[in-house]
Structure 1
Amino acid sequence: MKTSNPAFREKTWTSAEPDSSGAVMTLNGTAIKGGVLGALLVASAAYPWHMFFTSNASTSALMPFILIGGIGGFITAMITIFNQKAAPITAPIYAILEGLALGGISAMYEYQYPGVAIQGIALSFAVLGAFLLAFSTKLVRPSQNFMQAVVMATFGIALYYLVAMVMSMFGMHAPMMWDSGWLSIGFSLFVVTIAALNLFIDFNFIEANVENGAPKYMEWYGAFGLMLTMVWLYLEVLRLLSKLRSR
C-alpha cells in the first residue's frame, strides 16, 4: 500500500517488533495518544506566541524558536521514523519542538495578518473533523488508484519545494510560492487539497494496522504520523490565507 507520509511506509509497519507485553494497537488508544501530542504541541506553541505579543519584541526574536523547533523537530521525526519502538518517548518530544516552531511561524503570520492564525487552526481542524467523519462512516474509502495519485502529487509538490529552496539560496524566487496572484493562490489551494487528502491515507493505514494487531507502542507512532500531515496542512492553510489577505 503506497503512502506519501514517510511515517506510514508499508515497510515501517510490517517490520514493527512485537510489544513485550503482548498488548496491541487500538483506535481508541491511537486517538488518545493523538490528543496528548496535540495538547503538547499547543502548549509549546503558546510560549513563543505569548512572548512575542506581550513583550513588543521584533519578529527576529521568533527566529530562535523557529530554527530550534524546526531543526530539532526534523531530527526527532527522523529518529522516530527509523526507530518506531522509541515513539512513546520521541513523539512527545517532536510535538514539543514542532510546537515551538509553529508558535513562532504563527506569530509572524498573525503580526502581518491579524486573525489569520485562528482562521488557519479552525480550518485545519474543520478539515480533520470532516475527513475523519467521512472515513469513519465509510462515506469515503481510498482506492489504490486514489492513493497512488495522491502520493504522486505529494512527491511532485515536495520536488517543487526542494527546487524553490535551492533557488532561494541563489537569490531567486520560484513562481507561485509567495506572490498573491490568482495562479499562486490556485497553486496553494491545490497543495492544501493534496495535504488534506493525505489524511484519508493516514486513516486507512492506522485502521489497517489496528486490524492486523500492530504492537501497542505503534499507537504513539500512528498519532505521530498523523501529526506530520496535520502540521503540513496547517502551514499550507496559513500560506493560502496569507495570499488571500495580501490581495
Structure 2
Amino acid sequence: MQSNNPVFRRSDAFNGASANAYGNQTYPGNGAAHQSYGQTPGHGEPQYGAPTITGRPMTIDSVVQKTAISLAVVIVFATITWWYTGDIKSDSAEAQQNMGALYGALMIGSLGAFALSMVNSFKRVVSPALVIAFCALEGIALGAFSKFIDAVFVADNTSISGNIVVQAVIGTFAAFAGTLATYKFFNIQVGNKFRTFVIAAMFGMVGLGLLEMVLGAFGNQIGLFGFGGMGLLFAIGGLVLGVFMLILDFDFVEKGVAAGIDERESWRAAFALTVSLVWIYTNLLRILAIFSQD
C-alpha cells in the first residue's frame, strides 16, 4: 500500500503494489511534524499493497508495546534533564549557570530530535535504535522546555494539582484517550479530503514556524511562539491539528494491522504516535502557560 505520509511512505511493508483483501486505499498516520508527502501516480489516493512479511505480523499489542517504550524513553530523559540542570528560579550565579545549561539542552535536544525525525521519516527500513535515539533527544528538549515554563509561570507555592506541567501531561493523555474513544465509538472513516487538509495544515504550521525562527534571528518575530494573543491562536491551532494527526495515526495503524504488515513496522507506528503526542503536549503546555499569566 502507498502512503502519503513520509513515515510510512518509505516503508516497503506499507507500500506494496497489489491490492489487499479490502481493495481499498491506505490511510496515512502522522510522522514528524516536518515532512514531505507524495501520492500514487494516476490515482490521487494511496493503495493497499501486499506486505512482505519477514516475521510476525504487526498487532495492536505490538504497537502499544513499542509506543509505551518510546514514551517511557521520552519521559525518562525529560526527567533526567529536569533534575540535572538544577535550580533556575533563584537569582544566584549558580541559577544563571543552570539556565545556560537548560538552554543548551533545549537547543541540542530540539535540533537533534528534528534531524532524527527527518531520518526516521524518510528511512525505508525502520530502525528501532534511531527511533529510541529520537525519543531520547525529544525527551531532553521537552524536559528543558517544561522546566523553563515551570520556572516562568509556576509560583513556588503552587500545589501539584495547579502545576501546569502536570496538567499538560494529564491533558495530553486525556486527549489521546478521548480521541481514540471518539475514533472507535463513532467509527470515524478518514477520507482523502480530510487527510489532505491535515497534511496541508501541518505544512503550513511548520512553514510558519520556520519563518518565525528566521525572523527571530533578525529581531522581527511575529509572535507565533510567544505568550500573547498570536501565540495563543497558534498554540490552539497546533493542539487541534495534533488531535487530527492522532486520528490519522489510529486509522493507519488499524488498516496496517488488518493488512498484516511486518511487526517491525510497529516501531514506525510508535514513532508517529510519539510525535503526535509530543506535538499535543507542547501546544497544550503553551496554552496553559498563557492562561496562567496575571
Interval containing the TM-score (normalised by the shorter chain): 0.7 to 0.9
Number of residue-to-residue matches in the alignment? 244
| Structure 2 match to 1:102 | 142
Cα shift at 1:161 = 1.3
Instruction: Kindly report which structure 2 residues correspond to 1:127-206, keeping only aligned pairs within 5 A, or say none.
Output: 127-181=175-229, 184-206=231-253
1:7 match: 7
How far is 1:197 from its partner?
Answer: 1.3
Q: Contact between 1:2 and 1:147, CA under 8 Å: does it hold in 2?
A: no
> Which has more radius of gyration?
2
Is the Cα–Cα contact under 8 Å of residues 124 and 230 in structure 1 kept in the other structure? Answer: yes
Length-normalised TM-score, structure 1: 0.88
With CA pairs under 8 Å and 6+ residues apart, which has the higher RCO, 1 or 2?
A: 1
Bigger CA drift: 30-39 or 74-83? 74-83
For 2:289 and 2:208, locate their aligned partners in 1 and report how far apart those are by CA, in whole Å: 20
Cα distance in structure 1, aligned partners of 2:104 and 2:191: 43
Equivalent position of 1:88 in the other structure: 128
Superposed displacement of residue 123, structure 1:
1.0
- Cα shift at 1:91: 1.1
Distance 1:72 1:176, change over 3 A: closer
- Find out whether 1:18 has 2:52 as its counterpart: yes
* Equivalent position to 1:41, from 54, 61, 74: 74
Cα distance in 2 between the residues matched to 1:168 and 1:174: 8
Q: 1:30 aligns with which of 58, 63, 67?
A: 63
Paired AA for residue 293 in structure 2: S
Quick one: structure 1 residues 52 and 203, their matched pair in 2 at CA, closer, same or farther if it must change by over 3 Å?
same
**What SS class does the counterpart of residue 141 from structure 1 fall into?**
coil
Deviations 1:61-120 (A, max 9, x none): 212222222222222222222324342221111111111111111110111112221111
Q: CA deviation at 1:128?
A: 0.6
2:242, 2:279 within 8 Å by CA — same for their partners in 1?
yes
Structure 1 residues 151 and 228: CA distance shift in structure 2, 3 A: same
Single out whichever of 33-42 and 136-145 deviates more from structure 2. 136-145
Q: Distance in 1 between matches of 2:239 and 2:165?
A: 16
Q: Which residue of 2 aligns with 1:50?
A: 83
Instruction: Look up the SS of the partner of 1:142 in the other structure.
Output: coil
Q: Which amino acid aligns with 1:18?
A: T
Q: Distance in 1 between matches of 2:83 and 2:129?
A: 27
The one-letter amino acid of 2:52's match is P
Q: 1:127 & 1:136 partners in 2: Cα distance?
A: 14
Q: Which runs of no fewer than 5 residues in structure 1 stay unpaired? A: none
Q: 2:91 — aligned with what?
A: none
How large is the RMSD of aligned CA atoms in angstroms? 2.5
Could you tell me which runs of 5 or more consecutive residues in structure 2 were left unpaired when the two chains were aligned.
17-48, 89-93, 155-162
2:225 touches 2:231 (CA, 8 Å); kept in 1?
yes
What's 2:168 paired with? 120
